[in-house]
Amino acid sequence: MRREESAYIAFGQYWLQARHQETTRLWLTNIIAIVFAALLALIAWKGLIYWYIAAFGLALALFGLFTNHALRVLSVRYSRVASTLMDFELGLGDYRRFIEGGEKRGVKAAWENLWSLHIAFVLFYCFAVAGWAALLTMARDVTVVANWPAIITFCLVLLASLGFYRLFLWRREKEAETQPLALPKRARERRKLEG
């Protein structure tokens, strides 16, 4: 098998793996949203908020947030390798299908990075964590005098989950996007030998 054929096969495998991570993240979020809807329907039907229903919703929201992050990092890594193979080994140009913003700077890049599909997933899970935490404070066995503790809990947990994501998980995603790959160096060396 020639080197170019091997590069095509490797590119296809990495591209499919990146697409698989995106599809998995979408299906996981769809299933979790259906479970959330069922739990909320159960709460509305019973008219009472039991602590174990709210605790299960909170645990599921946290699971979704962290799984979403893990799938995002894998997707970025696989897509970067596929992009590098396409650009350097196959000579077909750069392909940034999975990474938002690319090399853009300023307001346009900030806008594209802020309002991406990935941020929609993160916001969905952060709101879910905050919402289930607020419902947990309103549970049947928990004494609440007014709705203010639930509102304050919602706001504080939402800010805490977004802050946690920004401080700890976002850094890992940016690292995955900017981590140097060995392949471009090898391609440059090959071009020097050919030239």
84 pLDDT higher than 60: yes
CB half-sphere exposure, 188, CA atoms < 13 A: 5
The CB-based long-range contact list for 175-180 (8 Å cut-off, 24+ gap) reads: 176/73, 176/76, 176/77, 176/80, 177/76, 177/80, 177/99, 179/77, 179/80
What confidence tens digit (pLDDT) does each residue in 116-127 have? 777 889 889 989
What confidence tens digit (pLDDT) does each residue in 147-161 have? 667 778 888 888 888
pLDDT of res. 15:
82
Q: Which residue has the tokens 């964590």?
A: 129
- Average pLDDT of the residues of the chain: 77
What confidence tens digit (pLDDT) does each residue in 88-125 have? 666 666 555 544 445 555 555 555 555 577 788 988 99
Average pLDDT of the residues in 174-184: 66
Residue 9 is given by DSSP the state H
Q: What is the pTM of this model?
A: 0.72
Q: How confident is the model at residue 166 (pLDDT cuts 50, 70, 90)?
A: confident
Q: How confident is the model at residue 7 (pLDDT cuts 50, 70, 90)?
A: confident
d(CA 11, CA 176): 18
Q: How confident is the model at residue 79 (pLDDT cuts 50, 70, 90)?
A: confident
d(CA 159, CA 144): 22
pLDDT of res. 160:
86
What confidence tens digit (pLDDT) does each residue in 38-61 have? 999 998 888 878 888 888 999 999
d(CA 50, CA 136): 8
